[in-house]
């Protein structure tokens, strides 16, 4: 009996160690709540990935892929760059996308959970901070985004 418990404990310890060093704990969603956060200590280079899966890339002004996880910036809404309603929406969406990439590459990224873990499309919902500064607040302040109020609202 003691030998079985020993091997079970050893197995769990090895599994947890392997999961930790493979990055599982840092790429999985944090628990729901504003106090939980994940931080990436080094700067990450982002590319563009307008469609499909990606790894450390910007989809549009409010959606990114980071460490293999698709993340929707929870507190903002930016103009669409794919299914846009008019040319001015696409142009502003392209500017928001460019600016988001610049901001993300400028320092350490922290993800903060909100009261929901995922949206209807399966994207992780997170407040994104870079060097302690809210990405959403920056984009709203620069006129490239608006605060998210639920649902889809027109930009045209």
Catalytic residue of the set 48, 80, 102, 126:
80
pTM above 0.75, yes or no: no
99 belongs to the catalytic site: no
Topology of the domain covering 32-147: OB fold (Dihydrolipoamide Acetyltransferase, E2P) (2.40.50)
Q: Write the CA distances from 65 to 46, 82, 104, 144, integer angstroms.
A: 9, 17, 11, 20
Domain residue ranges of the chain, discontinuous segments joined by +: 1-30, 32-147
Catalytic residue of the set 95, 99, 123, 126:
123
101 belongs to the catalytic site: no
126 belongs to the catalytic site: no
Average pLDDT on 88-98 reads 97
pLDDT digits (tens, 9 = 90+) for 20-47: 444 433 333 333 333 355 655 568 899 9
Tally of residues, the chain = 156
pLDDT band, very low/low/confident/very high, at 151 (cuts 50, 70, 90)? confident
């Amino acid at each position: 009996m003691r030998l079985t418990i020993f091997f079970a404990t050893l197995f769990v310890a090895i599994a947890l160690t392997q999961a930790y060093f493979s990055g599982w704990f840092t790429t999985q969603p944090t628990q729901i709540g504003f106090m939980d956060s994940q931080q990436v200590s080094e700067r990450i280079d982002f590319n563009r990935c307008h469609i499909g899966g990606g790894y450390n890339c910007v989809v549009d002004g409010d959606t990114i892929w980071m460490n293999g996880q698709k993340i929707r910036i929870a507190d903002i809404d930016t103009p669409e760059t794919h299914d846009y309603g008019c040319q001015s929406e696409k142009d502003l969406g392209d500017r928001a996308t460019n600016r988001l990439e610049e901001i993300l590459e400028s320092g350490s990224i922290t993800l903060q959970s909100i009261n929901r873990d995922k949206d209807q499309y399966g994207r992780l919902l997170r407040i994104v901070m870079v060097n302690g500064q809210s990405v959403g607040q920056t984009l709203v302040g620069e006129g490239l985004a608006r605060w998210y109020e639920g649902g889809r609202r027109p930009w045209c």
